Structure formats: C-alpha cells, structure tokens
C-alpha cells in the first residue's frame, strides 16, 4: 500500500453507563469455547489473561496488526461490578495510542478535556498551570489529558476488537491452573459449560494487582503499604464547578487534609477526600457522611446526586522482572502505584502498546525472539520510575513526623510567596510518556533522542492534505518507519531501497517547502513539526518503532542505520 492509497476509517458509537444512582455496566454473553470436550489442548500463539484496560489494549493492538490471540476474563463486563469508575485521567501518550487503535474519537466525544490545574493550601492558591502553554504538550494532535471513566474506554476497546477480528474475547472463562515448560504453557480454564485446556506460546498476565499467576509462579516483588486513607465520591451537581483540575493540600472543608476535584464524562465529578489514618472505611463512605462533607465544600444549597462512593488505601508494588518464562506481566500485575499523577492505568496502556508490536514482529518472523527481552528493559524502567514518583507524592501528602513534616510546611509557606518554590509542592507529578534510557532495542549515541516517544504531530501529504504522524505508523503496518529528512544523494537512495527490500522497513522522505521529491514515498513538513518531534536536524534520519518510540537517529545513511535496524529487531544485543 502506498501513501497515496492510505485511508483512515472513522469509528463512532454512543454509550451511557451512568444512569440514576450508580454505574450500569454492559454485559457480554458467554460463548462456549470450541475446546470444550476435547481431550487434546488446543494450541494458541498468545493467551491474554484479564480483560481490564491493559489486557484489552493489548488485544486491540494485536487485532489491529492481524495477530491471532484469545483473551479470557472471569467476568462478563468491563469495569468492576458494584465498584467505582476507577481510572479517569488519560494522558496524551495514551490518547495517541487509542487513536492508532481506532477508539480515540469515541473517547474524545464522551470524555472531558482539561489542561488547567490549580493547587490550594487553605484558602490560598499556591500555583496554577496550563499544560497547553507548555511546549511538550502543544505539538501533538491529542490534548494533554482527557478525563473519562475507565469502563467507557474498555467498552470502546471491546467493540473495536470485535470489529477487527483475529482476537477471541472469552467472557466468564476463569484460569484455575497453570504450568509451563520449555516449548509451551498449559492453561486450565473453568467456564459455566465446563473445563478445558489450551497450550500457549506466550501468556500475558493482565489480571491486576491480585494476580494468581504471580502467586503461582512465586514472582519476587517489592511492596510498600501506607496508612493513608481516602474516600472517593463520584457525584453530579446542580451548579457546575470550573472544568479544571483542583487540588487542595490542606482543605479547610476537609479538616485540613488533601482533596482532589476532577470532572469526568456524563457530567460526573470525581472528588477524592483524604481521611484520617484511623478512619473507619464503612463510616467515611456512608451517604449521610459524604453529603455532609460535600456540603462543607460546595455549600448546603448545591444539589448533589451521588453516583458512587467508596473508600480506598494505597500501596505500591513492583516486580523484579516483567517476564517469568513464557509469562509477561503488564499493568497492575507488574506494578501497583498510588493514584497520584494518573500513573496507573496509563502505564498499563503503554505496557500493552510496547509488547504488542514486538509479539507481532516475532510471530511473523520479522524480528528475533530476543526482541521480547527489550519489553522487560523498557517497561520495568517505566514501572520503577512511576513507583518512585508516586511514592514521593504520597510522602508529601502524608509526611512522617519530623523532617518530612517540616519540609512540607516550609515548601507550602515558601510557595505562597515565591514562584521558585512552587515546584517543591507535590500533589502529583502528571504522567508522561516514559523515556527508555537502557533499552537494548534502541541505538544510543551523542545527541540522539533514542528512547523518546515521538508525538502525534501534523504534516502535509504529498497532495497537500493534512496528515498526522499516527497515520504514518498505520501505513507502516507494524514495520519500522524510517524518516529521511531532506533530499538524498543517489547512493543513499540505493542503499535505502536495499534495506527496505531486505528488512521490515518502510521509508518516507520528509521534505520542506520547495524541495524536490525523489524516487521514494514522501510527505511535506512545512512547519518542521515532524523534524522537531524526532529531535533531528535537516539532512538526518530517524528510525521510529511501531509504538511511536524513536529507535535511533543519525546524520547519514550508513552502517549506523543498519545497526540500528538490527537492534530494533532484536538481531543483536550490543548497544553503541
């Protein structure tokens, strides 16, 4: 398929899962698996265990690439029956991923965009920010953040997977036993119609923080549990608060404890109240107690409809490795973080996006099995960083007596008077696309931005119409994408043609205004957005992976490019 024949497909649907006094989640039918009654376990290349946001993102990514898999989930719905809306805040990187998967338009239509955040200490506004004014967010075609209840995204993913095919979603299928050997893993699965077994080449654990696979495999992990207690209230108001992220470090209407305030889809507000460490969860989540707390914050005359209420306590966990034999851990089965900065679900989405293209490349024979080891390099680095960042926020919000408490008080007092001290106030460092600094799938060299995510910037197709970087990744269809910036000498053109013919590589020339097209596919970058997103100079090249991460860049079409392609495909384990 040439760039001229590339077409984008639009996807639309509408849902309303919050009606009346709670969340009304969809249900999906149980379909008896074909393996029932068979004495010989069927063989599958990939089995995903768990149908939360991480597992469904992986399933959708594989389906988009045409890779067969099955996903089993012991429930028959998205979200959690009788529980909260869970994750609500989705980052620009996640939104870029969802656009590639074909569900972004649904998310944008249902969710709420925001970029302004305000932080208060008592009645004083300590500082504010507008992410749209920050250069790191302005380049992408997606907004800095969208707030939407997690179950909506999961439902959109289910519909998209069913439309794409290739992945079999199996509801009310519960994993009850597991063993793995040198050549495959054996899974025993219980259903309402009976038990069956399957063999898998690769097993993905997306079962969440109470992973049975992690327990059965005796996977080592670090864990830390705090004594901080919170109460979530998802509510609608008759009088709308501002459509901004508001946080209070010391809220006078909550006994000088922290409060978070966010708008989600369906005009539902998420209010998080920090409770006393010895608070009784049943008491703080009683409707009359919650209503009294809301009245103190918003006034007695404001009408309130309570959609859902629930208490929670945070903890942090992180595995020592993202893989155990044939099992890959992702999402909350790999790490658990406190909810500050939206680093939970977004990390799971990124896990899935990272692993999907690598599994697809290996199973198609376009990459070496060693490429799968880079999943652990990259996503464990991200997991550890997110645990570190969120634990720091947790300590700021609930400091220990002594030095930590004195530091917090001093930081707040200084921030009220001096702009330099605002960065010391930590109510949650918002999630970003984690860079990969030690990956064996990236070629690092002086001045290179290898390991950084390339934003979904705009450009111009050869015919002049507007395009987005994600469309180039779609066109590459799971292959590596080489962007060559500017005119190329004849020897370089010949070498590129040879590389494209001998490896899973798509080549696109990126030209400025007035530069003549040559004998390769080309696009125009009149504003220099693509070049800026790849952090390269005119005349250089950028090698981009299917997950939108920069694998390497360089000044000339030479041996360094050949080596970068090999690294990105797992063909060698040595970095420069």
| DSSP reduced 3-state for 364 | coil
User: pTM of the entire structure?
Assistant: 0.93
One domain, residues 174 and 104: yes
Confidence of residue 33 (pLDDT cuts 50, 70, 90): very high
Q: Is residue 180 part of a domain?
A: yes
Question: Strand 245-251 vs strand 167-171: parallel, antiparallel, or unpaired?
Answer: unpaired
One domain, residues 487 and 364: no
Q: Is residue 430 part of a domain?
A: no
Task: Return the higher-pLDDT residue of 49 and 513.
Answer: 49
Distance CA 111, CA 269 (A): 12
Q: Where residue 560 sits, what CATH number does that domain have?
A: 3.40.30.10
Q: Where are the beta strands (DSSP E) in 139-292?
A: 145-147, 167-171, 174-180, 185-191, 194-205, 221-237, 245-251, 257-263, 269-275
One domain, residues 195 and 73: yes
Instruction: Choose one of 370, 397, 424: the last residue of a domain.
Output: 397
Confidence of residue 85 (pLDDT cuts 50, 70, 90): low
Mean pLDDT of the region 225-243: 85
For the chain, give the percent of residues with pLDDT over 70.
94
Instruction: Choose one of 397, 416, 435: the last residue of a domain.
Output: 397
One domain, residues 175 and 92: yes
At 352 the pLDDT is 98
Per-residue model confidence as pLDDT tens digits over 271-282: 999 999 889 988
Confidence of residue 574 (pLDDT cuts 50, 70, 90): very low
One domain, residues 327 and 208: yes
One domain, residues 82 and 185: yes
For the chain, give the percent of residues with pLDDT over 90.
64
At 353 the pLDDT is 98
Per-residue model confidence as pLDDT tens digits over 318-350: 999 999 999 999 999 999 887 787 788 899 999
Mean pLDDT of the region 429-453: 90
Confidence of residue 431 (pLDDT cuts 50, 70, 90): confident
Lowest-confidence pick of 61-70, 236-245, 436-445: 236-245
Lowest-confidence pick of 183-187, 342-346, 478-482, 546-550: 342-346
C-alpha closest to that of 145 among 137, 153, 155: 137
Instruction: Choose one of 397, 414, 446: the last residue of a domain.
Output: 397
One domain, residues 81 and 183: yes
Q: Is residue 332 part of a domain?
A: yes
Q: Where residue 78 sits, what CATH number does that domain have?
A: 3.50.50.60
Lowest-confidence pick of 17-31, 229-243, 381-395, 520-534: 17-31
At 164 the pLDDT is 97
**Residue 183: Cβ-neighbour burial (10 angstroms; 0-12, 13-18, 19+):** exposed
Q: Is residue 372 part of a domain?
A: yes
Structurally, the chain folds into a number of domains equal to: 2
What tokens were used for 103? 């569900």
Q: Is residue 244 part of a domain?
A: no
At 3 the pLDDT is 52
Per-residue model confidence as pLDDT tens digits over 516-533: 888 788 999 999 999 999
Per-residue model confidence as pLDDT tens digits over 147-177: 999 999 999 999 999 999 999 999 999 999 9
Asked whether the predicted pLDDT for residue 189 surpasses 50, the reply is yes
One domain, residues 369 and 488: no
At 19 the pLDDT is 53
One domain, residues 152 and 82: yes
Distance CA 92, CA 106 (A): 15
Side by side, which strands form the sheet with 505-511? 466-468, 458-461, 522-524, 505-511, 480-485, 541-544, 550-554
Per-residue model confidence as pLDDT tens digits over 4-25: 444 443 333 345 555 555 677 8
Q: Is residue 562 part of a domain?
A: yes
One domain, residues 178 and 323: yes
At 339 the pLDDT is 78
> What is the domain extent for residue 557?
458-568
Per-residue model confidence as pLDDT tens digits over 279-313: 998 899 899 999 999 999 999 988 999 988 888 88
Confidence of residue 135 (pLDDT cuts 50, 70, 90): low
Q: Is residue 492 part of a domain?
A: yes
Distance CA 253, CA 250 (A): 9
- The per-residue pLDDT of the chain, averaged, comes to 90
At 15 the pLDDT is 52
Tokens 């994408």 sit on residue: 481
Q: Is residue 117 part of a domain?
A: no
Mean pLDDT of the region 364-389: 94
One domain, residues 393 and 499: no
């Amino acid at each position: 398929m040439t760039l001229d024949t590339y077409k984008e497909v639009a996807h639309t649907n509408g849902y309303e899962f919050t009606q009346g006094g709670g969340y009304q989640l969809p249900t999906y039918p149980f379909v008896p698996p074909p393996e029932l009654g068979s004495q010989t376990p069927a063989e599958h290349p990939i089995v995903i265990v768990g149908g939360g946001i991480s597992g469904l993102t992986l399933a959708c990514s594989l389906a988009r690439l045409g890779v067969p898999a099955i996903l089993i989930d012991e429930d028959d719905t998205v979200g959690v029956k009788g529980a909260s809306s869970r994750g609500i805040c989705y980052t620009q990187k996640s939104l870029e991923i969802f656009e590639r998967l074909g569900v972004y338009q649904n998310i944008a239509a249902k969710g709420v965009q925001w970029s302004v955040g305000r932080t208060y200490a008592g009645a004083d506004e300590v500082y504010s920010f507008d992410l749209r004014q920050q250069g790191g967010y302005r380049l992408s075609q997606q907004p800095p953040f969208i707030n939407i209840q997690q179950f909506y995204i999961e439902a959109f993913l289910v519909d998209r997977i069913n439309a794409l095919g290739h992945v079999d979603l199996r509801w009310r299928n519960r994993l009850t036993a597991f063993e793995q050997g040198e050549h495959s893993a054996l899974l025993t699965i219980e259903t309402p119609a009976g038990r069956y077994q399957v063999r898998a080449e690769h097993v993905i654990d997306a079962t969440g923080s109470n992973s049975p696979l992690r327990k059965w495999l005796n996977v080592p992990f670090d864990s830390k549990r705090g004594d901080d207690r919170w109460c979530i209230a998802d509510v609608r108001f008759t009088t709308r608060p501002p459509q901004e992220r508001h946080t209070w470090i010391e809220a006078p209407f909550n006994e000088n404890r922290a409060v978070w305030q966010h708008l989600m889809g369906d005009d539902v507000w998420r209010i998080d109240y920090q409770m006393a460490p010895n608070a009784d969860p049943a008491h703080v989540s009683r409707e009359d107690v919650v209503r009294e707390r809301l009245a103190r914050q918003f006034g007695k005359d404001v009408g309130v409809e309570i959609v859902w209420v629930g208490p929670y306590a945070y903890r942090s966990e992180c595995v020592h490795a993202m893989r155990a034999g044939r099992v890959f851990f992702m999402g909350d089965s790999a790490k658990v973080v406190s909810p500050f900065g939206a680093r939970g679900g977004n990390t799971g989405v990124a896990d899935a996006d990272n692993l999907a293209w690598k599994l697809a490349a290996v199973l198609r024979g376009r990459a070496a099995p060693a490429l799968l080891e880079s999943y652990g390099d990259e996503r464990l680095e991200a997991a550890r960083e997110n645990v570190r960042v969120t634990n720091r926020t947790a300590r700021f919000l609930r400091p220990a007596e002594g030095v930590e408490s004195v530091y917090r008080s001093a930081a707040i007092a200084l921030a009220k008077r001096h702009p330099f001290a605002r960065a010391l106030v930590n109510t949650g460092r918002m999630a970003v696309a984690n860079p990969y600094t030690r990956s064996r799938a990236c070629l690092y060299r002086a001045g290179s931005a290898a390991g950084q995510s390339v934003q979904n910037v705009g450009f111009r197709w050869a015919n002049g119409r507007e395009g987005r970087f994600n469309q180039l990744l779609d066109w590459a269809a799971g292959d590596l994408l080489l962007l060559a910036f500017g005119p190329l000498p004849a020897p370089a053109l010949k070498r590129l043609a040879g590389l494209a013919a001998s490896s899973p590589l798509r080549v696109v020339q990126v030209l400025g205004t007035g530069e003549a097209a040559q004998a390769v596919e080309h696009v125009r970058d009149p504003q220099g957005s693509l070049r800026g997103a790849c952090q390269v100079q005119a005349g250089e090249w950028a090698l981009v992976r299917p997950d939108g991460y920069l694998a390497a860049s360089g000044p000339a079409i030479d041996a360094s490019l050949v080596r970068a392609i090999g690294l990105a495909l797992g063909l060698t384990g040595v970095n420069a």
